[in-house]
Structure 1
Amino acid sequence: MIIVYTGNGKGKTSASVGQAIRALGNGIPLCFVQFMKSDVQAGEQIFLQQLLQDNLYIGGKGFFRKEEERPKHREAVLACLKWIETKKETVSMLVCDEILYAYHAKLISKEEIENLISFCRANKKHLVLSGRYAPDWLMEQADIVSEIQEIKHACSKGVPAQKGIEF
């Protein structure tokens, strides 16, 4: 299955973590990679590290805001893809958190994502892709697409990110 969690609402990473927990609970081995988040010890990172150990890779460099930062972000994406290469044969599910944000920022190519999809389809492996801005071509290829829409968020009223809620 190719599963996509997208949209502008909060909860795409949470959905990906939930999918990983469901799979693990059913004995499905997986690896989880965060393409954009840095190792800031967010709640899900702490939990996943305990649960997955060396099957978790937090490869991001944080938010991509300045064009001069493109090389370091592209390098981080390439490191994530290289890490996946070392894991993909031994697991039944690949979870690629925030890969779609990386795609939207042109840090990963359509071809690189399609290579992951092709590998997973050919080898009967599940692939979870999350992030804002899922392109139409991906939503067409996916087996499951969930769009998470923001209705209301406290940050729009100036409330800072809350530990255990946003991180």
Structure 2
Amino acid sequence: MWRTLLKYGLVAGVVAGGALLATMLAFQGQPPAGGVGMALGFASMLVALSAVYVGIRHHRDVAGGGVIRFWPAFGLGLGISAVAGLVYVAAWELCLVLADQDFAAFFANSMVEGARSKGVDGAQLEQVIAEAQAFEAMYRNPLVRMPMTFVEIFPVGVLVSLVSALVLRRPRAAR
């Protein structure tokens, strides 16, 4: 089971991390405007995390003789998702190095500019600026940034693991 977990977790992580790196290179280190970046990111996560389904099915068919119960399937899916999440975090850290851009400052400035474009001013704008500065300081700490990055992909992995375990617990599913 460990071999399956690592193999499919690395595949999912490399696909999601590779998509992250490719997006970063395609947009020259600048996050895409609007929700395009978020849509690309979550679409690539879903594609990458299809390795969870494939990994559980492989384990069921090879090691389980065509049968797997819900909890072992769900646990395997979570393990694959966790490995994928760790690779994704490493890819994001690489992106931060390669982009040669201060992402924390960029994001904080985006928060302030977004508030200004909505007409926020006075004390409310000062509050947004203070929150942006607090975020910027917090995001510079890798012990905060890395778990935040992991939480981007892992909940998607939990959902894919849940659905995959529910589908694959049936012996005739997906043959």
Structure with the larger RCO, 1 or 2 (CA within 8 Å, 6+ apart): 1
Greater share of residues in strand: 1
With normalisation by structure 2, the TM-score equals 0.29
